[in-house]
Structure formats: C-alpha cells, structure tokens
C-alpha cells in the first residue's frame, strides 16, 4: 500500500545578527521560495521503499509560489526516515566583515497535507546553517496535526523562534540524517542559511 505525506513550505527566514548599536540587524527573507536560488543535497532515505521529492509549487504558497516536498512511504517499516537539505546561496553572512552574530530570529510558514491516519503528528522547522562545508540544524517545534486532512490545522501555520545561539545548532550529515555534536562558529567564517526537511514513519513524525 502506498502512503505519502505532502506539504508546501513558504519560507520566511529572518537571520538577525545583533552586532552592536552602530550597525543594523541583517534580515534574510524569501516569501516566494524560488528553488532556483537554493543548492540542494541529494535526498536520503533509510529504506529503499521510501523516497522524498522537492519541487517548486507555483501557486500553493502564502504569496504565490512555495517549496513543496512529497515524502512517499510504500511498504516501509516503522523507523524509516527520508530528508533533504536546501541552502539559499544568497543567505550569506560573514562575521569577519559584518561582526559576530549574537543571536538569530527565524520563522517559516508551513502547510501540511497527509493521507496517513493518526493523531498528534510531529511538526517542526529545521533552520540549517552551512559553514566550511559542515551542516548544522536546529529543530524548532510547531503545532502537531492529525491525519488525514487535519480540519483542526488547515492552511499555513507560522513556526518561529527567537534568540537562537550557536549552541542551538547541532552538526549533522545531510547524506544520512545522522547528527553529530559540533556547533557553528558565529564569529568565524561565512555562514550560509537554509532549511532541512526530514519526514519519518516512526512516531508518525513530519520533522
């Protein structure tokens, strides 16, 4: 039996670097989510029967287009995880020239559709940083939802966080989804921002 999770994302990432009273915060936004501006890693899957596809959706966003990812689970067992990382090439911040980042505020508008039956599906936004070829992420929890076609959680919902520090971000391998223990350096070399979408069958998670 084929099962799939489907959701659209309209990304609004605001990375605010508080670098002193003499300089303004840096705001990075993408309200229409043009996929051409992103570098994507190859999708990973922990089981050959599951897959994830990332596309540009021209009319399903908050203000037009949006990112759309479709995760498909056929006969995958519990514990299967699929995912992909996207880095915006223009979401760049160099602490060496702009000053060290003291904190980051971020938000994303996320809409989820699923054909799976269940209650209390997990839901999060994973703000992602790439620095010196290493990837870091912070999973920010959003409202849980029910399936299929949750009538109590329709349309886009905002997932946001403020005051994120370097220690909130943990290294991970986008080829496998495995997490590490390193943190980015907010006073170091250039940081690029994006997001990671993981979807799993364990615990009915959309992560």
Q: Domain locations in the chain?
A: 3-206
pLDDT for position 111: 83
**pLDDT value, residue 14:** 60
pLDDT along the chain (207 residues), means of 10: 47 56 71 88 88 85 82 75 92 89 88 75 89 97 77 75 94 93 96 91 53
116 in Cβ contact with 76 (< 8 Å): no
Tell me the pairing of strands 134-141 and 170-172. Answer: antiparallel
pTM greater than the 0.75 cutoff: yes
User: Alpha helices, DSSP H only, in the chain?
Assistant: 95-98
What is the spatial distance between Cα 123 and Cα 143, in angstroms, rounded to a whole number? 6
> What's residue 22's pLDDT?
45
- The C-alpha atoms of residue 76 and residue 3 are separated, in whole angstroms, by 9
What's the start-to-end Cα distance of the chain, in Å?
Answer: 22
Q: Which of 28, 186, 207, 203 is nearest to 96 (CA)?
A: 186
Whole-number pLDDT of residue 3: 40
The reported pLDDT for the residue numbered 138 is 97
């Amino acid at each position: 039996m084929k099962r799939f999770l489907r959701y659209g994302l309209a990304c609004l990432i605001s990375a605010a670097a508080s670098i002193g009273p003499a300089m303004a915060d840096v705001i990075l936004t993408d309200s229409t989510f043009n996929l051409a501006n992103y570098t994507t890693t190859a999708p990973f899957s922990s089981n050959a029967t599951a897959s994830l596809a990332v596309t540009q959706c021209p009319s399903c966003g908050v203000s037009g287009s949006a990112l759309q990812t479709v995760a498909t689970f056929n006969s995958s067992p519990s514990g299967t995880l699929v995912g992909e990382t996207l880095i915006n090439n223009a979401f760049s911040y160099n602490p060496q020239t702009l000053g060290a980042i003291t904190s980051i505020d971020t938000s994303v508008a996320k809409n989820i559709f699923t054909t799976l039956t269940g209650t209390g599906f997990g839901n999060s936004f994973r703000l992602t940083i790439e620095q010196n070829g290493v990837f870091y992420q912070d999973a920010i929890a959003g409202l849980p939802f029910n399936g299929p076609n949750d009538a109590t959680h329709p349309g886009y919902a905002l997932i946001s966080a403020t005051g994120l520090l370097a220690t909130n971000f943990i290294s991970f391998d986008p080829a496998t989804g495995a997490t590490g223990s390193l943190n980015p350096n907010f006073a170091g070399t250039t940081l690029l921002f994006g997001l990671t979408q993981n979807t799993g069958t364990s615990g009915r998670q959309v992560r």
